């Protein structure tokens, strides 16, 4: 099965990474942008965790609203985007969609074990309700096959729903590289997807350099591309 035509960013764009400025990366936005240029990226999205997740993990950060509204790339020609990683909170439709009360038109939907307050047995309903209510704003869905949250996930049902609303999903480079992905469910996902992204989910410069390549090599080695 060749899925090459379904990949949105099989080039020099990476839309999933975290910064020291307001999340759980080891490097600042300035350092990320400088290094991304060195490894030939042309567009990146700084996509840090929601305020809800930051508060749960007791992380303190400088003013994100100041950073995202006043920061300009003075180093190179990379196009830098600021988005937010929404966290599904429960199995109704509640999500955390801001950092320091700033919202964005495009968001990335995700579900993490700690911010999600309900039983993982309800994870399918949580995804369904969040997508039905917020699908006009969801840019894509991150790492749905993470082992920590995928035990009860019906990945086929999720993909069919995402396809219905024209929402791409993600092959997560760092998740693959660190063995955090349920490979069987990811295989099922690849068989049903209409479109998807390959992103690094980088939390340090090493992962920014290697994680997307790891994911691409995984797809090649398993004859997906």
Which CATH number goes with the domain that contains 103?
Answer: 3.20.20.140
pLDDT tens-place string over residues 37-60: 999 999 999 887 766 556 665 555
Task: Indicate the range of 95-109, 110-124, 159-173 predicted with least confidence.
Answer: 95-109
Which structural domain range is residue 78 located in? 4-221
Give residue 21's pLDDT band: very low, low, confident or very high (50, 70, 90): low
Measure the CA dihedral 178/151/133/14, to 10°. 10
Tell me if 97 sits within 8 A of 84, measured CB to CB. yes
DSSP secondary structure letters along 23-68: SS-SS-HHHHHHHHHHTT--EEEEEEEPHHHHHHTT---S-HHHHH
pLDDT tens-place string over residues 168-214: 999 999 999 999 999 999 999 999 989 999 999 999 999 999 999 99
DSSP secondary structure letters along 68-117: HHH----SSS-EEEEEEEEEE-SSSS-EE--BTTB--SSEEEE--TTT--
Closest to 89 (Cα-Cα) out of 45, 129, 145, 140: 129
Q: What is the chain's mean pLDDT, rounded?
A: 86
**For position 100, what pLDDT does the model report?**
63
Total domains in the fold of the chain? 1
pLDDT tens-place string over residues 80-89: 998 877 777 7
Q: What's the Cα-to-Cα distance from 20 to each of 7, 115, 120, 205, rounded to whole Å?
A: 29, 20, 29, 11
pTM (predicted TM-score): 0.89
Per-residue 3-state assignment (H helix, E strand, C coil) for 184-204: HHHHHHHHHCCCEEEECCECC
The enclosing H or E element of 126 equals helix 123-134
């Amino acid at each position: 099965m060749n899925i090459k035509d379904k990949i949105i960013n099989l080039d020099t764009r990476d839309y999933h990474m975290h910064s020291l400025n307001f999340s759980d990366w080891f490097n600042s936005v300035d350092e990320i942008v400088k290094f991304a240029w060195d490894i030939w990226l042309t567009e990146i999205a700084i996509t840090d965790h929601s305020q809800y997740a930051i508060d749960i993990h007791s992380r303190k950060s400088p003013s994100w609203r100041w950073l995202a509204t006043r920061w300009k790339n003075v180093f190179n020609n990379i196009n830098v985007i600021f988005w937010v990683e929404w966290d599904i909170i429960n199995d109704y439709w509640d999500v955390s969609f801001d950092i320091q009360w700033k919202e964005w038109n495009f968001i990335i939907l995700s579900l993490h074990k700690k911010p999600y307050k309900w039983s993982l047995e309800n994870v399918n309903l949580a995804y369904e309700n969040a997508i039905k209510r917020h699908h006009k704003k969801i840019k894509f869905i991150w790492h749905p096959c993470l082992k920590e949250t995928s035990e009860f996930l019906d990945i086929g049902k999720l993909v069919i729903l995402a396809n219905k609303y024209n929402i791409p999903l993600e092959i997560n480079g760092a998740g693959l590289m660190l063995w955090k992905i349920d490979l069987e469910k990811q295989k099922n996902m690849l068989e049903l997807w209409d479109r998807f992204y390959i992103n690094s989910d980088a939390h340090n410069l090493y992962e920014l350099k290697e994680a997307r390549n790891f994911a691409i090599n995984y797809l090649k080695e398993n004859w997906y591309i």
